[in-house]
Amino acid sequence: MDFEFWWLLSWPLFFGLGWLAARIDIKHLVKESRSLPRSYLSGLNFLLSEQPDKAIDAFLEAVKVDPQTVELHFALGSLFRRRGELDRAIRVHQSLLEREDLSDENRLHALQELGEDYLKAGLLDRAEEVYLRLRGTSRSEAANNALLEIYQQEKNWGRAIDIARDMPRRGSKRWEVDIANFYCEMAATALAHSRFEEAMSLLDEALSTNRKCVRASLLRGDVMVAMGRDADAVNAWQEIGHQDPVYLSLIAVRMMDACRRLGTEAAGAQFLKTHLTQTPSLDLLEIVFKWEIEKHGAEAAYALVRNELTRNPTMLGLEKLLEAAIHTVEGEHKGDVELIRGLIHGHTRKVARYCCKECGFKARQFYWRCPACGGWETYPPKRSEEFDLAV
């Protein structure tokens, strides 16, 4: 009982101490707020009220009252850039860099902001110059990321390789995939200009960097075909079956054409059918289906699609089954099958797209680099319906 009594008596003491601490904090806050320009507080209020235009005017007035306020310059620059007024944002950050009293860290911050202004404005050469100055500083990581993006936009793959090799692995990010694709980009250019030896050398570099680079094996086959070496091309494409067989659909047509010229079409078709059984793919099924219906007739093609649909049930597979059925049905029922296939086709157009596994961006054509997030090899050559089933 004595303990509880004294505990109750301590409450007023605690209350008094709390009141005193609050008074001290309030006095400190009032003192600091009085030292700030009134327009600065108005600008903050406008920002919180989502009125950026009025906030900019208020901050400009605050800069006139207290030109030494570096934070206001940074706030202004960010606001101008967000509003798309890049020329004004550039002037703000350039004015910061001209100040002699700027600390080293704030100078690096201003340089980074200026580089972002140039990048947003599409002034890639000026942005590159700024970010090169930031390399080796505390802002080096951001500078390297920006430079990598600049060189990819400029298609300067040699410099992109140099930057990517200097960048540390970040989480699950593997720069080997990007670097191998940079080599592939250069190899594709060399192939387009019939510089076959150069293309092969670049593809060797790509595979040395990333031995699972499917694109390098695909391009190697294309180079062999251009050199008239179909057998070597088929061997290069068959290597994709070991790297990642899901990509075989990208070379199936070219592989069948090469096998046809070599007189080994049946062996090529069997190779694709074997991998279709192991790795379901609607795109690969399309090529094998056409070969089956051409060589063995509608019944064999129908059986092929029916078996594949049983293992991998999709609307796109059903449409292909109905297409095969049209060739096997006679009389008035043929029109009914065509009608059903037409209805199914209207739905499958929505799911017959490729999907980026990183950002979810969908497109009707395959990309080695996602147009949305910029990731390399983030587009599995599977339709979005298959992708959804897989995940």
The annotated binding site is made up of 356, 359, 370, 373
Q: What is the distance between the alpha carbons of residues 233 and 220, in angstroms, rounded to a whole number?
A: 7
What 8-state DSSP symbol labels residue 155? T
Structure tokens at 33: 């707020």
- Cross-strand pairs, 376: 369
- What is the spatial distance between Cα 308 and Cα 316, in angstroms, rounded to a whole number? 11
Inter-axis angle of helices 230-238 and 252-262, to 10 degrees? 140
In 35-173, DSSP assigns E strands to none
Residues β-bridged to residue 355: 362
Query: Coil, helix or strand for 287?
Result: helix
Report the relative pairing of strands 354-355 and 362-363 from DSSP bridges. antiparallel
Where is the binding site for Fe cation, in residues? 356, 359, 370, 373
Which residues are CB-contacts of 83 (< 8 A; sequence separation ≥ 6)?
Answer: 52, 56
- Taking a C-beta distance cutoff of 8 angstroms, is the pair 315, 282 a contact? no
- CA 55 – CA 61 distance, rounded (Å): 10
Element (H, E) at 77: helix 70-82
Give Cα 41 to chain centroid, integer Å: 40
Contact indicator for 237, 244 with CB cutoff of 8 Å: no
- What are the residues facing 170 on neighbouring strands? 173
Contact 59, 47 (CB under 8 A): no
- Residue 124 has which token pair? 């890639």
3-state DSSP call for residue 102? coil
Measured between alpha carbons, how far is 225 from 219 in angstroms, rounded to an integer?
Answer: 10
Cα separation, 362 vs 379, whole angstroms = 9
